[in-house]
Amino acid sequence: MESWACFDSCERGLREGLQPALRSTWRAMQRPYTVVLDMDDTVVRDKDGRRESVPWLPVLKDVLCDGGWDHNMRLVLVTARGRGAEAETQAEFYEATNWQVPIERVICREPGALDPDNHRDAALFKELGRQVAASPEAPLAATVGDMWWDVSPADYHEEREALGDYDDTKTYVCMGPDLCVGVKLGDR
């Protein structure tokens, strides 16, 4: 099993886990790479009946724009929202983030194909979404989300839950052998 570093906040996980990993690998290589973000509870969330940016969004933006926007980075949103919500999702991303960076693609779930409320289906969809997002020209460098299935293989979530060795309020960061950094955000 891979080793996941644990951080007490999303901000620390992003700054001390994701940022140095991107700096030392993908940014240093100066070649195209892909970063996948989940949307709900990673970029925006529901609070008191309204949508708002997540509190750690400024840090996420800062980490991804470390030293300025890297034109080699391809940003892809993979969301369990239903097919047809791509334009709305992209517009909500821009409104919530006030960040006019190019989004390479928004990948939404096929209607009826996978149930976003079923953990196994959600994990399979997210894994397939990451595979579609990456390409030989721009490999997957990082994937950031609030759920284990946003950042790891479909079967990994079940293994992780069975172990019971994590605190879901904390943020976990791991670099895989393919140099892809997974960031599982906590709730603070």
How far is 188 from 186, CA to CA, in rounded Å?
6
Q: Comparing 65 with 162, which gets the higher pLDDT?
A: 65
- Widest CA span in the chain: 44
Q: Comparing 117 with 62, which gets the higher pLDDT?
A: 62
Q: The tokens of 2 are what?
A: 């891979």
Residue 114 is predicted with a pLDDT of 56
Residue 160 is predicted with a pLDDT of 61
How far is 21 from 8, CA to CA, in rounded Å?
18
SS3 annotation, the chain: CCCCEEECCHHHHHHHHHHHHHHHHHHHHCCCEEEEECCECCCEEEECCEEEECCCHHHHHHHHCCCCCCCCEEEEEEEEEECCCHHHHHHHHHHHHCCCCCEEEEEEECCCCCCCCCHHHHHHHHHHHHHHHCCCCCCEEEEEECCHHHCCCCCHHHHHHHHCCCCCCCEEEEECCCCCEEEECCCC
Residues of the chain above pLDDT 70, percent: 89
Residue 184 is predicted with a pLDDT of 92
Q: How confident is the model at residue 1 (pLDDT cuts 50, 70, 90)?
A: very low
**Domains present along the chain, CATH in parentheses:** 5-184 (3.40.50)
Q: pLDDT (tens digit, 9 = 90+) per residue, 109-159?
A: 876 655 656 667 777 888 888 999 988 999 999 999 998 888 887 776 565
